[in-house]
Each structure stands twice: as structure tokens, then as C-alpha cells.
Amino acid sequence: MKTFKTADCSIEFQQYVQDLYSAESFQTAFQAFEQRAQHLGYESSLYTYIPKVILDTGFAVEPVFQVSENYSPGFLEHYGDKRLDKSDPLIRAVEAGIDQPIDWWGDVCNTFTNGERASQDVIKISKHYGIKSGVTIPLMSGSCGIAGASFINSESSHSQSPVNPNLEQLILSTRLFHSMVQSNALFKGKFARSLLDSMSDTERQFLAGLARGYSPSEIAYELGTSPRYLEQVMLKIRRKLSGVHSTSGMPTINRNQLLYYAGLINIVEHDNQRKQA
């Protein structure tokens, strides 16, 4: 039977805050976060921020999840291979604005399965891979996208229950971590990686140029190509983010939307980092 520590003393929480804000990399900050969760009785942690463009395009690219090394690798591999993110009831619940901790096997999660077998399988399959208890803490839902953190145990426990004396400490610690990530462009940029990796160098540079306010002619000159060629690049980006794979398909995302999304994922800053590398 797993035992849980009672409310943490202020010194331990202060040490967590110090470790978190002295971290020089996202990985170091996440290690402090997962160690905090383990101290509160949760074996493994997952954190993700899903930019609005990934949501609006129907998960044209797979979102990025930062997880503990022991966060059920088999389940994560299955989840990614089957693209269960597209039907995950937990993601749906966070996107809908649920702001209270979500028990994976509770009524809120069941509500957002929408009666779909694929959505129901997300939770059923997690049990198959040995996950016995899980709780998701919603962190953000709005114009920039959604964010949340999930915590699991491989044996039954009180970790997902509101009566657990450590749950409020977990919520506070998680919100603190999330605030730090969202305030650091480098940390936050990690979660746009899958979207940027789906683009070629030319596509990223063209999009960054537009976000800077350059005209297609100016960007073409800088890239040593022609405005006509960049028109095709624009169309290709719009198709890609619209989830349209056929060259005959019409993209649902227009130029203005594309520029809006470019701002949300800090495309200019990513391009600056690439040039400095």
C-alpha cells in the first residue's frame, strides 16, 4: 500500500521554488517539477502545452508531451502510434474549460468521450498498460491554446481524490511550474517543435519574414528566390496546417490566420535562434 506524506513544510516548498526558478534549461525545471510530484505521492508526471494552431487544425501534427522516464512507456508509444491525442477526452475536457482536477475514471472524463469508441479506448488502454490511477490538472484554455498536467500511479491510491491532503499542494506546485514555462519563450517554444519540424527551412523562413512585416518580394530577395515560388510555399503551408494532404485540396486556413498562428508560436524568435545556432 502506497503511503502519502502530509502537507509539506514551507522549507520544502521554498526549495522547490528555488530549484524551479534557478533552472537554466526546461529539462532541469521539469526535473524539479517531477521530483515535487513524487514527493507528494505521484509516481510519474506529464506536462503539455498545445498551441492553438494544433487544436484548430485538428491535430495536423502531434502535440509535444514532456514526461517522466517511467511514465508508462508502452502506453505512450501506443498513444502516439494510434494518434489517440485526436480523441483524448482529457484534452477535450481541458479545451472545454474544465478547471478542476479530472479523475481519469470519473464522470467528467466519461462525459467528454462523446460516446466514441476511440475516445473511450484512451482510458481503457491506459489500464491495459498498468496505470491504476490518474488525475489531470487543467492549466490553460484560451486563444493561445491549452495546457495541462497529468499524474499517474501504477497501483491504487488516493492520489486522484479530492480528499487526498496533498492534492492542493500538487495543484499549487503545478500552476507554479506552468506559469514559469509560459513566461519563458525558450521553454514555451519546446511545445511548438512538432509544428516547426513539419516545415522545411524555406517555409519557416518565409513565415518568419511575413511575421516581421516583410513583403513577399522582400522575402524572395533575402532567400534568393522569386515571389511566384513563395506563393506556392504559402499555399503549401496553408495546406499543411489545414490537414489537407492532396495538392487538389483547398486549405481552410487563410493568410491572416497563418500570420496569427505564427505570432502565437513565436516564429520570429524561433527563426532568430536558428540563425544563431
Question: For residue 219, how many C-alpha atoms fall within 13 Å in the half-sphere facing its CB?
Answer: 22
Measure Cα distances from 242 to 62, 162, 201, 236 in Å.
14, 40, 19, 10
pLDDT band at 244 (very low <50, low <70, confident <90, very high): confident
pLDDT at residue 32 in the model: 96
Confidence check: pLDDT of 3 > 80: no
pLDDT band at 264 (very low <50, low <70, confident <90, very high): confident
Mean pLDDT estimate for the chain: 86
pLDDT at residue 265 in the model: 76
- Amino acid identity, position 61: V
Strand residues in 11-170 grouped as ranges (E):
44-51, 66-67, 102-103, 133-142, 145-153
Please tell me what DSSP assigns to residue 158.
S
Confidence check: pLDDT of 101 > 70: yes
Measure Cα distances from 227 to 206, 216, 219 in Å.
11, 6, 8
Give dist(CA 217, CA 195) in Å, integer.
25
Confidence check: pLDDT of 8 > 60: no
Confidence check: pLDDT of 33 > 60: yes
State pLDDT tens for residues 172-184: 999 999 999 999 8
Other CB atoms within a 10 A radius of the CB of residue 110 amount to 15
Q: Are 117 and 84 in contact (CB under 8 A)?
A: no
Chain position carrying cell 482536477: 101
Other CB atoms within a 10 A radius of the CB of residue 207 amount to 25
Full set of structural domains in the chain with CATH: 10-192 (3.30.450.80), 199-276 (1.10.10)
Confidence check: pLDDT of 1 > 50: no
pLDDT at residue 48 in the model: 97
